Structure 1
Amino acid sequence: MSETLQPDPRRWKALAFIAVAQLMVVLDATIVNIALPSAQQALDISNGNRQWVITAYALAFGGLLLLGGRVADMWGRKRTFLTGLVGFAGASAIGGAATGGAMMFASRGLQGVFGALLAPAALSLLSVMFTDGKERAKAFGIFGAIAGGGAAVGLILGGLLTEYLDWRWVFFVNIPIAAVAFVGAMTQVTDPAGRNRSPLDIPGTLLGTLGLVSLVYGFTRAESEGWSEGGTIAMFVLTVALLGSFVLVEQRVKAPLLPLRVVLDRNRGGVYLALGLAVIAMFGLFLFLTYYMQEVRGYSPIRTGLAFLPMVVGMVTGSTQIGARLMTRVPPRYIMTPGLLLAAGGMLLLAQMEVDSSYVGLLMPAMIMLGLGLGSTFMPAMSLATYGVEPRDAGIASAMINTSQQVGGAIGTALLNTIAASATSSYIAANIAGAESPVLVQHAGMVEGYSTALWWAVGILTVAAAVAGTLVNAEPQRAEAVAEDDEGEAAPVMAH
């Protein structure tokens, strides 16, 4: 057997630094949201342009993930990881020092570019460093907790930094985090498996990148301009054309950017789809609960962030204590399906919210259920994400999980926000005439919109549970076993 299968004694220290880097990337999906009003005012960004602080990151990150994954396979995972860290820190410094809207948008785009290098490299490094089944379960449990809970931690940290320091610190905080991860990775991280020496698939890269950018932008535009607006429809038509061409090219080229065998495997395909659906629901949850707490209940940014703590605790517990302990004992679908149904139950409870709902009586138990359900789901799902993939494809398979979640986030934000806005408008129009308190009617309308959208999220999570129960059929010993390619190198991986 190849020496590459011998476990590296530094692997647990390496996990800590890889996890720190992953947390930084996940944080940036939400940490900027809370600081956005302050940044908009300070930089004199118009209401029409403020969405680009979020959209520039989403487009670059989502569009370049497949390329980032393949770069990690070709150039080396550790080298790509370190490059991503340095670039992400530099882009964050530009954002923190921004003097105007253009500089801010550019920094967010650069963060997305380097995040697309960093995230797949981190996950594929983990795959080749942890080859023992039980150890991998523990490592994936820790990493899964960060992947699931990091977004909520971003809300907490964003509230703290904005309220007690300055909005610029939501960017500057990435610099010391990246420095710690860089120094640790230099000394503790090894890259034991072979590289993919095939030439880069240029046509596939262009079609795949442009297709993903148009898809994410289509949903972003749908949220702000409407689903029937000409530009929105054009983006979706362009997406179908580009991604359809991408699939045709990938079937024909000798060294495809995304080998179709990676996504056509039953278990991997089931995981990608189930997690993408779960993220649609989860992004809607963060969006609506943040607005509910701040606009309806009058919570401060920091109090809003802290209110998400039960969900973070639930995710950490579900990932490390439920998913990791059961992964090597029962088939993954028997963890994922109940986990997604438990999350759907939490969302169903949340859909009962009213203007004056109790935090302790309703919101907190719902968030604990959601956290436990999603945390226990992410863990086995991530361990299966690239099960059986050769090490040379570990980066691209990791990128597919990131891509499914990034696209899910874009869909969730646009779709559920549109549903909520429509229900709110209808409620206010029907009840505002003759109302004693227009403010109460507006708040009730907002809650009606959130509740309606959350019912949709319940359905989406239920469909995700059905997907996991139907498509994912791996046995526990398969999830635990280490697949080998013809070079005798280990294969499993997980991803955010």
Structure 2
Amino acid sequence: MSTLDQIPPVTTSPSPDAPAHATPQQGTPATGGPRPPARMTGRQKLVLTLLLGAQFTVAVDFSILNVALPAVGAGLGFSLADLQWIATAFALAAAGFTLLFGRIADLFGRKRLFIGGMTLLGLSSILGGIATSPAMLLVARVLQGLATAAVTPAGLSLLTTSFKEGPLRDKALGLNGALMSAGFTAGAILGGLLTDLLSWRWAFLINAPVAAAVVMLAPSTIADSRPAERARLDLPGAVTVTGGLLTLVYGLTRAGEHGWSDLLTLASLAAGAVLLGSFWLIEKRASAPLVPVQIMKRPSVIWGNVTGLLAFVTETSLVFLLTLYLQNVLGYSPLATGAAFGVLGLGTVIGGTLGGRAVSRLGNRATIVTGGLVQTIATIALVALGSSGGWIWLLLVATFIGGIGNMLMIVGFMVTATSGLPDHEQGLATGLATMTQQVGITMGIPIMSAIATARMNALHTGAAPAVLSGVHTAIIVNSVLVLAATLLAAAFLRSRRSTAA
């Protein structure tokens, strides 16, 4: 197993909440004269490419089946009511086990978990591609969700420990955020293409060769990092947080289908709240807690994750709302709908590319606030959408600009949530950030769906006018949530600026 001696160790700030100043990069003089910009070594670029490729694949996997669901249902005999379980089975596993796997990565080796997760992703994708029954497909989706829960925090912690805190890490996190967000959009486009040109089965099978390539290259490319002493795994904490997240995500997903007054929805949400409350009490008393309570008291962790949660809730649910608009109001096909979101994907790539530079020059708080204001303005502009096809230009421009703003928020959130922490807590920090991402993605759609549906049901007009009114109402709520995240970041986050070394 090779090691990466060229990769400098992670450095941390004396205080997690104080402004952190980047220390000189390897080979840079400590004093005297202007310092050249920090540059990645060849090995760091290879590590970055491998890790980003894996994260992009995971992101594509999350959304690639969305436009293919009707074809999957017809091919395997899913009823219309049961189609949502293809997405729900994935989301439950991905959100419920992310924090646990992030901690397992810290304790037993991030590289090992990363490679194991990519192996599971490849095998489960093959299982889904050859599925002959609904049960077989749902098992594959659960396994894909578990693979995502392992790969995402392990990959992110390997990324943060491969680049010292400062401009290079900011750049790496910016590219990671850009590719993950672009992956969600690319998944929709790719799913439509594969389903129309080949078969829905290729939406699964396409993951297998990518996963195989990562598994073959990772052992000789990525250096592992783990604590010198292996602590005990907090099983009571693991059981309560995993159970709490599973029931919470199930309740939120069920709310989108049956409404917020459904008894099972309310029972699931209440059970989730009780289990998560129990988890907090257990962690306060545990000798080796899954989540040390002190880390949750740090403003950077608390408010960074709150901001990130709202950023993911709003943008992913906005895609859902605009899908309703494009297909039910303008009459677009699934393939045309996916193509329209390509402009949003371009905006997220640009926003992610700019995000690392913005954090280095402006600081994390200013980057989040700037991105939030841009996203708020772009989102509220969508209230003007009408029922004629000419309004597609407003949608394309607003989603492009909003995508840039959203990615500035997400990059600022990732830098905030993973900065100022020692190496042995990076898996925990990235696990929390990934859990925030997965829960936000899962929460957004049922919340916005419930708002839009309530408005539609209150009207006694034709289908298209009712959908348009429901979409408008949910867009207004979406804009308010973005603005709330922006104001919270401005009020409670402390700025950290990375200066080029």
Instruction: Provide the TM-score with structure 2 as the length reference.
Output: 0.90
355-364 vs 262-271, greater mean Cα deviation: 355-364
Matched with 2:325 is: 292
CA contact (8 A) 2:311 2:482 kept: yes
Structure 1: gaps (5+ residues): 432-440, 482-496
1:403 aligns with 2:435: yes
One-letter amino acid of the counterpart of residue 176, structure 2: F
CA contact (8 A) 2:327 2:337 kept: yes
CA contact (8 A) 2:456 2:469 kept: yes
Deviation at 1:294, TM superposition (A): 2.3
Q: How far does the alpha carbon of each residue in 1:420-466 deviate from its partner, in whole angstroms, 9 at most, with x for none?
A: 01111222x1x3xxxxxxxxx21111111111101100000000101
Matched with 1:340 is: 372
1:32 aligns with 2:65: yes
| Structure 2 CA distance for aligned equivalents of residues 344 and 21 of structure 1 | 31
1:274 equivalent among 307, 315, 336: 307
Matched with 1:493 is: none
Deviation at 1:326, TM superposition (A): 2.1
Report 1:60-79 matches (<5 A): 60-79=93-112
Deviation at 1:379, TM superposition (A): 1.6
Report 1:6-155 matches (<5 A): 9-131=42-164, 133-155=166-188
Report 1:32-431 matches (<5 A): 32-131=65-164, 133-192=166-225, 194=227, 197-321=230-354, 323-359=355-391, 361-427=393-459, 429=460, 431=461
SS at the partner of 1:48? Answer: helix
One-letter amino acid of the counterpart of residue 24, structure 1: T
One-letter amino acid of the counterpart of residue 153, structure 1: A
Matched with 1:474 is: 495
| Structure 1 CA distance for aligned equivalents of residues 232 and 497 of structure 2 | 36
325-334 vs 335-344, greater mean Cα deviation: 325-334
Deviation at 1:49, TM superposition (A): 1.8
| Structure 2 CA distance for aligned equivalents of residues 380 and 463 of structure 1 | 16
SS at the partner of 1:351? Answer: helix
Superposition CA RMSD, Å: 1.9
CA contact (8 A) 2:364 2:496 kept: yes
| Structure 1 CA distance for aligned equivalents of residues 174 and 45 of structure 2 | 13
| Structure 1 CA distance for aligned equivalents of residues 255 and 481 of structure 2 | 19
1:465 equivalent among 467, 478, 486: 486
SS at the partner of 2:361? Answer: coil
379-388 vs 57-66, greater mean Cα deviation: 379-388
CA contact (8 A) 1:57 1:111 kept: yes
Deviation at 1:198, TM superposition (A): 0.6
Q: How far does the alpha carbon of each residue in 1:18-70 deviate from its partner, in whole angstroms, 9 at most, with x for none?
A: 11111111112211111110000110011222221111111111110111101
| Structure 1 CA distance for aligned equivalents of residues 211 and 422 of structure 2 | 29
CA contact (8 A) 1:201 1:256 kept: yes
Deviation at 1:358, TM superposition (A): 2.5
Task: Give the percent of matched residue pairs that are identical in Structure 1 and Structure 2.
Answer: 35
52-61 vs 180-189, greater mean Cα deviation: 180-189
| Structure 2 CA distance for aligned equivalents of residues 163 and 392 of structure 1 | 47
CA contact (8 A) 2:9 2:163 kept: no
Distance 1:10 1:66, change over 3 A: same
One-letter amino acid of the counterpart of residue 296, structure 1: V
SS at the partner of 1:45? Answer: coil
Q: How far does the alpha carbon of each residue in 1:74-118 deviate from its partner, in whole angstroms, 9 at most, with x for none?
A: 111111100000001111111111111100111101111121111
Deviation at 1:296, TM superposition (A): 2.3
Deviation at 1:132, TM superposition (A): 5.6
Deviation at 1:145, TM superposition (A): 0.4
CA contact (8 A) 1:4 1:193 kept: no
One-letter amino acid of the counterpart of residue 52, structure 2: A
Distance 1:253 1:40, change over 3 A: same
Distance 1:3 1:385, change over 3 A: closer
Distance 1:192 1:363, change over 3 A: same
393-402 vs 186-195, greater mean Cα deviation: 186-195
CA contact (8 A) 1:128 1:193 kept: no
| Structure 1 CA distance for aligned equivalents of residues 393 and 242 of structure 2 | 46
Deviation at 1:380, TM superposition (A): 2.3
One-letter amino acid of the counterpart of residue 226, structure 1: G
215-224 vs 380-389, greater mean Cα deviation: 380-389
CA contact (8 A) 1:53 1:108 kept: yes
| Structure 1 CA distance for aligned equivalents of residues 217 and 416 of structure 2 | 27
Instruction: Report the number of matched residues.
Output: 468
CA contact (8 A) 1:318 1:376 kept: yes
CA contact (8 A) 2:106 2:226 kept: no
One-letter amino acid of the counterpart of residue 108, structure 1: R
Matched with 1:449 is: 470
| Structure 2 CA distance for aligned equivalents of residues 45 and 403 of structure 1 | 29
SS at the partner of 1:10? Answer: helix
SS at the partner of 1:191? Answer: coil
CA contact (8 A) 1:195 1:392 kept: no
